[in-house]
Amino acid sequence: MDRALLDALGRDLQGELGVQWWVGDALPLRDEWRETESGLYRSIHLIHALMERAQGGEGNARRTWRLAIADAGLCAEGVGEVFGEAAMEGCCAVVGIQPLRGGSGADGQVLRARLLTQAVHELGHLAGAGHCRRASCVMYPSRHIADSDHKGHTFCAECRDALKLRGVQKT
């Protein structure tokens, strides 16, 4: 994984959400987590591994969010390929970077913007936000990379206000 990209994501998340961040130890992808047919990794296994790590780690596992950036494609049960997944109102989420490299114009800046969008989306789920029906809101579910490119990394007013009530959204 490109450390410069992870550092840029951390700075972007700090600026966007006001979160403190650090890059932790790498979480190895296990062969048994991979779907045989698609070659994609089952995202729930990465989330469970992060949760196990959180249980043995420093700080309060419920107050410290962990976001894994997998240099792979991901899938979820009953959904197929996904950009990421989160334990709703939990402590852990994952984003797969492989599909973010797809599509036209996926240069370094586009990849960085896509990664920020998906990271904010998954952290929104950790904060308790569900999917939004507004296509311009970061909480709108992305089915295709074009959805992610269109919506960007910002919350709509309704989602932002709901997160402020929970005390988790930067003002």
- The catalytic residue positions are 122
How far, in Å, CA of 49 to CA of 33, rounded?
A: 11
* Residues sharing a CB contact under 8 Å with residue 102, sequence separation 6 or more, in sequence order: 145
3-state secondary structure of 165: helix
Cβ contact 96:119 at 8 Å? no
Q: At residue 61, what are phi and psi to the nearest 5 degrees?
A: -60, -30
